[in-house]
Amino acid sequence: MCGICGLVVLDGDGTPDRGQLSAMNDALVHRGPDSEGYLLDGPVGLAARRLSIIDIEGGDQPLSNEDETVHVVQNGEIYNYRELRGQLLEAGHRFSTRSDTEVLAHLYEQRGLDCLRELRGMFAIALWDARRGRLVLARDPFGIKPLYYAEVNGTLSFASELKALLRQPGFSREIDLTALQAFLAFNSIPGPYTAFTAARKLPPGHALIWEGGSPRLERFARPAPVPADAQRSGSGRELAAELLETLRDSVRAHLIADVPVGVLLSGGVDSSALAALAAMESGEPVRTFSIGFREESFNELSRARLVASRYGTDHHELVLEPDAAELLPELVGAFDEPFADSSAIPTFLVSRLAASQVKVALSGEGGDELFGGYYTYVADRLAPYAGPAATLARPLVERLPSSSGKVSFEYKAKRFVRAAGLPPLARHHGWKEIFSAEARAELVNPARRAEFDPVAFYEQRYGETEGADPLARLQDVDLGIYLVDDLLVKTDRASMANSLEARVPFLDNVVAEMALSLAPRHRVLGFSKKRLLRRAVAPLLPREIVHGKKQGFSIPLASWLRGELQPFARDVLSTETIERQGYLDAAAVQRLIDAHVQGRDDLSRQLWGLLSFTIWFDRYAREPAAA
């Protein structure tokens, strides 16, 4: 695991500045505190910070092929590198290390760009083919590992995190107003947008290729649900047995490391299954790490302890107090563009806890999107039948008082009645929408507004899966947008800020291929979610976990913002600050705070987004910014 960055002189005439490259690399030291490396060759400069996981002694980057005509830096892990290495040795290639990164150089030399389709793993790669004068940037099909790029003054820069690009002289900090609208709708910024007009995210499963002139984008992989008439047949028992073996194989692959591997254990079915399988595959007690809360409805340490006890793990816990006033600025520094998924707090802290013991930890991202784990999928299935009744009931439901409990009944009921009567894609967004179009219009300074329709943003992704069943198409939208630009961003930044590599076995190629072939009844039926996954792991886990409500690292934010964090929120979102920044309407912000504090509605996610944006703006958007 590493942080990577680089510079390319696009007209091919000149060499990148070593000082600029070093400054960019220094911004990524948390991603790789163990070593650093550089390559300057003609118009290209590559750099890497390394967190030593595989081939600790010999795996420093950049790495190259035998004649040093192909050079590679990589952020990630290739889990089938041993098999690929064996094939390449038979083809006559000679290796100088045991690193998975060196395999990439030889595999590209052997198979060209087609090599990207053979990789099983998570990766962001930069590869320089000196013979052809070709630079290749590539990102794994699920977008597990990030990669940003920008063109400034004739130079292409790229990096694992946006903060490294800010080190490039001439980088404009002009805020992308479309990205601002997207952030207010989603509480994260979906790719290819970034907070700045000058930079973009490389989409998952894409390569950016430069061979002189202008770079071009090519898609090399696109995980997608199968057509409805091609879904897997077979009994639930047979499929569950196959899924369990597939998950076992994925966990076995994700345990490959020359350092100890732990598990981030929330107490839900996904992370509990990973802990169980890791314990079964490991020759020594697996280290597990969990977060708890004083608020009872959010505290699920007891479930995590059930798994830890059953498998004799070396278990570690932390009870989280509402100290977000101290943590939020630290999180803003880690995420480097507006990001407001409040579960980043416990993810950040459990990563810090894990990093005190291990360098690698397994995490459960992807299980919900692939196997149907969200209540929104239940709502998607029920809405065609309940929509008219929900519309009639809306005036009554809207009068329910706001609760501070975890995903309370009134919160879910209000979300359901507000969106149930809409078309499928619009209502799917409605279940999760942060600020509606009307709310955004009221909130954003008229001079800072831009046109952005979240549903239209979904439509391109949705249109690519025509012929798949309706639920699978909506899951695919989440897989390509919410998972990539919220959950995986959260996990990557929170873990790497603590120099911890987080691995996600559910997003293994083979696991995903099976999940994407399942009929709807194996995912969601009535109010039952993740049906096949629960059946598959039932023999491994306590009944309370297999049949319990959805778990996760969520926090009691509504309660905190009505209590201990209220002074912090009012201070950060003061009229003076909002007017000085000039992007939001101060009076609208104060109305939101009052409505939440007075219990008229649960606006905790909206307020957290505004807090995140306001702190981020003063750190990164003003010149000069602290990078």
Secondary structure of residue 495 in the 3-state scheme: helix
Name the least confident of 176-185, 324-333, 430-439, 475-484. Answer: 324-333
Secondary structure of residue 385 in the 3-state scheme: helix
Distance CA 96, CA 66 (A): 8
pLDDT-based confidence at 3, cuts 50/70/90? very high
User: What is the per-residue pLDDT for 393?
Assistant: 54
396 belongs to a structural domain = no
Q: What is the pLDDT averaged over residues 389-417?
A: 55
268 and 179 housed in the same domain: no
404 belongs to a structural domain = no
Contact 176, 194 (CB under 8 A): yes
Residue 41: both structure tokens together? 């060759």
What's the pLDDT tens digit per position in 177-194?
999 999 999 999 999 999
If residue 209 lies in a helix (H) or strand (E), which one and from where to where? strand 206-210
Closest CA to 362 of 285, 272, 302, 300: 272
pLDDT exceeds cutoff 70 at 580: yes
pLDDT exceeds cutoff 90 at 173: yes
Beta bridge partners of 316: 289
Last residue of a domain, one of 201, 219, 237: 219
The tokens 């969200």 sit on which residue? 374
User: What is the per-residue pLDDT for 601?
Assistant: 85
Domain hosting 9: range is 2-219
169 belongs to a structural domain = yes
Beta strands across the sheet bearing 148-152? 35-41, 44-50, 2-9, 155-159, 148-152, 199-201
Name the least confident of 273-287, 360-374, 520-534, 550-564. Answer: 550-564
Distance CA 288, CA 266 (A): 10
Pairing relationship of beta strands 261-264 and 287-293 according to DSSP bridges? parallel
What's the pLDDT tens digit per position in 118-152?
999 999 999 999 999 999 999 999 999 999 999 99
128 and 254 housed in the same domain: no
Q: What is the pLDDT averaged over residues 155-179?
A: 96
Last residue of a domain, one of 161, 185, 219: 219
364 belongs to a structural domain = yes
Q: How many CB atoms lie within 10 A of CB 3?
A: 28
296 belongs to a structural domain = yes
Amino acid at 482: Y
Average pLDDT, the chain: 90
pLDDT exceeds cutoff 50 at 215: yes
Distance CA 152, CA 515 (A): 42
pLDDT exceeds cutoff 50 at 625: no
pLDDT-based confidence at 560, cuts 50/70/90? confident
229 and 324 housed in the same domain: yes
Please measure the distance between the N-terminal and C-terminal CA atoms of the chain and give it in whole angstroms: 22
213 and 261 housed in the same domain: no
2: annotated active-site residue: yes
321 belongs to a structural domain = yes
Contact 553, 266 (CB under 8 A): yes
pLDDT-based confidence at 323, cuts 50/70/90? confident
250 and 214 housed in the same domain: no
What's the pLDDT tens digit per position in 83-98?
999 999 999 999 999 9
Secondary structure of residue 433 in the 3-state scheme: coil
Q: How far out from the chain centre does Cα 46 lie?
A: 25
Q: Kindly report the CATH number assigned to the domain that includes residue 467.
A: 3.40.50.620
Secondary structure of residue 624 in the 3-state scheme: coil
Secondary structure of residue 114 in the 3-state scheme: helix
pLDDT exceeds cutoff 70 at 554: no
164 and 308 housed in the same domain: no
Q: Is the dihedral angle over the CA atoms 226, 228, 234, 236 positive or is it negative?
A: positive
Percent with pLDDT over 90 in the chain: 75
Stronger pLDDT, 413 or 266, i.e. the higher one: 266
**In degrees, to the nearest 5, what angle opens at C-alpha 85 toward C-alphas 83 and 91?**
110
> Which segments within 283-409 are labelled E, that is strand?
287-293, 314-320, 360-362
253 and 327 housed in the same domain: yes
How much is the pTM?
Answer: 0.93
pLDDT-based confidence at 532, cuts 50/70/90? very high
Secondary structure of residue 231 in the 3-state scheme: coil
160 and 230 housed in the same domain: no
SS (H, E, C) 15-83: CCCHHHHHHHHHCCHHHCECEEEEEEECCEEEEEEECCCCCCCCCCCCEECCCCCEEEEEEEEECCHHH
Residue 364: both structure tokens together? 């459960």
pLDDT exceeds cutoff 50 at 627: no
Amino acid at 13: D
Distance CA 452, CA 441 (A): 11
Distance CA 317, CA 307 (A): 13
Distance CA 39, CA 68 (A): 11
Long-range contacts of 617-625 (CB under 8 A, 24+ apart): 617/581, 617/583, 618/581, 619/329, 619/332, 619/333, 620/163, 620/166, 620/173, 620/195, 620/336, 620/337, 621/173, 621/175, 621/195, 622/173, 623/173, 625/166, 625/173
User: What values do phi and psi take at 447, rounded to 5?
Assistant: -75, -10
- Active-site annotation holder among 1, 2, 126, 344: 2
DSSP 449: -
pLDDT exceeds cutoff 70 at 420: no
pLDDT exceeds cutoff 50 at 620: yes
Last residue of a domain, one of 219, 246, 274: 219
43 and 181 housed in the same domain: yes
314 and 347 housed in the same domain: yes
pLDDT exceeds cutoff 80 at 548: no
- Which residues have a Cβ under 8 Å from the Cβ of 594 and sit 6 or more positions away? none
Percent with pLDDT over 70 in the chain: 90
Secondary structure of residue 208 in the 3-state scheme: strand
What's the pLDDT tens digit per position in 476-490?
999 999 999 999 999
User: What is the per-residue pLDDT for 626?
Assistant: 42
pLDDT exceeds cutoff 90 at 231: yes
10 and 46 housed in the same domain: yes
331 and 314 housed in the same domain: yes
User: What is the per-residue pLDDT for 401?
Assistant: 57
**Distances from the Cα of 433 to the Cαs of 87, 307, 418, 458, 505, in angstroms?**
48, 34, 11, 13, 28
405 belongs to a structural domain = no
Q: Kindly report the CATH number assigned to the domain that includes residue 70.
A: 3.60.20.10
Distance CA 524, CA 102 (A): 43
Q: What is the pLDDT averaged over residues 447-462?
A: 93
393 belongs to a structural domain = no
Q: What's the number of domains the chain is made of?
A: 2
